[in-house]
Structure 1
Amino acid sequence: MTLKKLSVEHFNQSYQLAQYAFRFADDQQHRNGFYQLMKHSTIYGAFYKQQLASQVIATPLKVQLFHQVFDMAGIGLVSSDPSFRGQGNIDQLMQQMLEDCYQNGVTLSYLDPFSYPFYRKYGYELTFERICYDLESSKWPDSAKAAGYVYRMNWEDAKDGVKQIDQQSDKHKYGGLLCEDWWYDYKFKEKTNVYFALYYNQQDQPEGYLIYKIESGKFICIRWLNLTVEAYKGLNRYIFSHKDSTERITFEKGYDRNEGVFYP
């Protein structure tokens, strides 16, 4: 088995292996997104002859932790061809990736594991807990009318407001991601099934946003961020307005035991 770092010349092999492993739709939207990710990442690959057997994708990102910015390697789409599983390929690739992080002064690495015990042996540990709210739409609590207003718009119209709100929020200061422009576009530009709603105050300044999708009768909140209680009320009422057109409403977020979700 030969280990090497992939280039865009390996796009088809890398994309096809990731698509096979994670079973996302094989369409132009996902191809464009994967190409964008590949351009900004280091992809560690294990090859058997000319065939890509396993890969680990490490994306250089930045996070803020207690007023200090750290370099971080975001690990994703770790995948192996079934023909080559159990041969230690991922172990070798992870070791190489971590060695490169050490040599380059990258202090942190995040991932969303399929198995905690598997990644714990490389030094990863549970750090961020999450909580999921999943209610029948009719039981989602309403809010009082807000002073401002909510607009639904496409990504090109929403992105400046989203970035402005992210920059003003304290949420990212405790280990959260500091998003670069390419990352925003990678996450949202190509998503044809995702909607964006922004709350504006009476001075027409954005104070909150909601990114969501509607699938199989479910209203799914992908990201929901408020700078003010008024923004919360406006966007929560917007969610509540879908109670008759959807069956369930779900919202998954980082868990903070000192923070409530629903305000009066």
Structure 2
Amino acid sequence: MDIRKLTTDDFEACMTLSEYAFQFVLNEEQVEKRREEFNSHNVLGVYEDGQVGAKLQIIPFQTYIQGRSFAMGGIAGVATWPEYRRKGWVAGLLKSALEEMNRNKQSISFLHPFSFAFYRKYGWETYVEFKNYKLSTDQLPAKKATSGTLRRGNPELSVLKEVYDTYAERYNGTLSRNDAWWENSVYAKKGSQRAVYYDEAGLPQGYVLYDVKERKFTIGEMVHLNEEARQGLWTFIANHDSMIDEVTLKAPANDTLAFQLDNPRIQQEVTPYFMARIVSVEQFIS
């Protein structure tokens, strides 16, 4: 098995394989963004007959665990051409990836599995799950007056980062986000509308990223640092009641929204999401 570190010269071959395996087609602008990301990732591939037959990417991240930041390798883009499957190539790539992450002192690894059973064989296990909520407008938290101010618009990224970083440290498995991740994976995917809650002193204490379409309020991300901010954000959402019929959102698995409702009989579903494994026990403990 000829496993190599891939370079920018292999980008087109990898992109063609990804589009085939994951059944998508990117436009020119999206391809260029992927090219930029490719250059910052650690990409391994199996060569066969002079071409890339299988590949995976190791994306460098920092993740919070017990309030501390850990170097994490995110496994992504695992794909093999159909004619080369069932040859143990992915197993070989995962072994090489673990060795590579160990050398780079990435003591923990996350991935989003196509099959939990498949990756369990290689040491990853279910780590992150989240709640999916769907509420009708008459089920929303009661509107409450707060002493702060809600500002809708396009806040500076530094404002959202300040709130998110304080919030993220409280959870295990949250990412420490750089500017590129905010632009490409948060702003681009979690809603085109933004609103920030500021306390009486003018300090940001929470925000919501969302979209309102076809009488649905879709929350891509809602972060609040205290109860006042939570009430302020939900009051803002409830003030859309003449425009919407339902609200949907994803929340941490330990979220307590149901306890804050007059009628807790709402639709909620727990979804297993990410898997994780320790790459190096020695590095992780130290």
Shorter-chain TM-score: what band? 0.7 to 0.9
Taking CA–CA contacts closer than 8 Å with sequence separation of 6 or more, which of the two structures ends up with the larger relative contact order?
A: 2
Correspondence for 1:209 = 207
Correspondence for 1:109 = 109
Correspondence for 1:37 = 37
Find the partner of 1:260 among 253, 256, 260: 256
Change (3 A) 1:23 1:196: farther
Q: Deviations over 1:163-215 (max 9, x none)?
A: 10022225554332222233222313555963222112233221101122356
Change (3 A) 1:101 1:239: same
Change (3 A) 1:50 1:127: same
Correspondence for 2:238 = 240
Q: Structure 2 length normalisation: TM-score?
A: 0.79
Q: Runs of 5+ in structure 1 lacking a partner?
A: none
Q: Structure 1 length normalisation: TM-score?
A: 0.85
Counterpart AA for 2:92: Q
| Deviation for aligned residue 1:110 | 0.8
1:194 corresponds to 2:189: no
1:217-236 map, 5 Å: 218-236=216-234
Could you tell me how far apart the structure 1 residues matched to 2:5 and 2:191 are?
33
Correspondence for 1:151 = 151
Could you tell me how far apart the structure 1 residues matched to 2:229 and 2:221 are?
14
Change (3 A) 1:123 1:140: same
Find the partner of 1:181 among 169, 179, 182: 179
In terms of Rg, which structure is larger?
2
Could you tell me how far apart the structure 2 residues matched to 1:261 and 1:192 are?
20
Contact between 1:137 and 1:244, CA under 8 Å: does it hold in 2? Answer: no
1:2-151 map, 5 Å: 2-24=2-24, 26-28=26-28, 30-151=30-151
| Deviation for aligned residue 1:43 | 1.3
Could you tell me how far apart the structure 2 residues matched to 1:86 and 1:209 are?
47
Change (3 A) 1:62 1:235: same
Contact between 2:41 and 2:57, CA under 8 Å: does it hold in 1? Answer: yes
| Deviation for aligned residue 1:59 | 0.8
Counterpart AA for 2:173: G
Change (3 A) 1:151 1:105: same
Change (3 A) 1:77 1:206: same
Change (3 A) 1:261 1:87: same
What's the RMSD between the two structures over aligned residues? Answer: 2.7
Could you tell me how far apart the structure 2 residues matched to 1:31 and 1:40 are?
15
Give me the identity figure in percent: 25
Q: Runs of 5+ in structure 2 lacking a partner?
A: 262-286
Change (3 A) 1:260 1:14: same
* Residues paired across the two proteins, number: 260
